[in-house]
Amino acid sequence: MIKAVLFDLDGTLLDRDASLKGFIDAQYNRLHTFLGHIAKKDFKARFVALDARGYVWKDKVYRQLIDEFEIKGMTWEELLDDYVTQFSHNCIPFPNMIELLEYLQNQKILLGMISNGSAALQYSNIQALGIEKYFATILISEKEGIKKPDAQIFMKSMENLAVKPTESIYVGDHPVNDVQASRNVGMTAIWKKDIFWDAPVQADFIIEDLAELKPIIEQLQIGNH
């Protein structure tokens, strides 16, 4: 019996690639006085490359951008602060996110979230998506002092929900931090496919759209009766 579904945030519920591009556009326009000597397309392309899909923290990204583009009048700290306070205004969810969360809630399935990253940024993004109310537990790595793929963060999340790994599903886009790590603790691992990863991913199920999760859960519930 599936009692809980836990999600990753970036690349799973939050379309981070689209959100980041929207943010960069907005930041460039907002800080045009300091960035106007750079072509927007060049600023955008370099930011996306340095960001490495969110796996490089933005202090390094902004230091590099200031150096490469010779940005004057703004420190990397000011640019980083703008990122932390403004990114949430550009949050774009993946299609069918709210419908899926509503469905799971109506099925009396407990919901949890485990996300690596900055607590302030991730909480503001969760609030911007309007989904905090659906989750019985939300663990952000910075606040917890442990991060995926560490088994402890998965176990803590399930302890908070009072469920066993065999009663839990984890949905994420990272082959190691999400899929392999959740399988290692005995959860059913669902990979939200991301073309960025070419290597075969050892998941229990693979989805491209969040709507595909509903029939999988129905299938698992029938199979467990």
- pLDDT tens profile 1-35: 999 999 999 999 999 999 999 999 999 999 999 99
- Predicted pLDDT at 225: 47
* Distance separating alpha carbons of residues 77 and 4, to the nearest angstrom: 40
Q: How many other C-beta atoms can be found within 10 angstroms of the C-beta atom of residue 177? A: 20
Q: What is the mean pLDDT of the chain?
A: 95
Mean pLDDT for the stretch of residues 170-180:
96
- Each residue's pLDDT tens digit, 40-69: 999 999 999 999 988 898 999 999 999 999
CB 4 within 8 A of CB 167: yes
Domain 4-15+93-223 has CATH 1.10.1740.10: no
Domain ranges of the chain: 4-15+93-223, 16-90
- Predicted pLDDT at 224: 60
Q: How distant is the alpha carbon of residue 99 from its chain centre?
A: 18
Q: What's this model's pTM, rounded to 2 decimal places? A: 0.94
Whole-number CA gyration radius for the chain: 19
pLDDT(135) > 90: yes
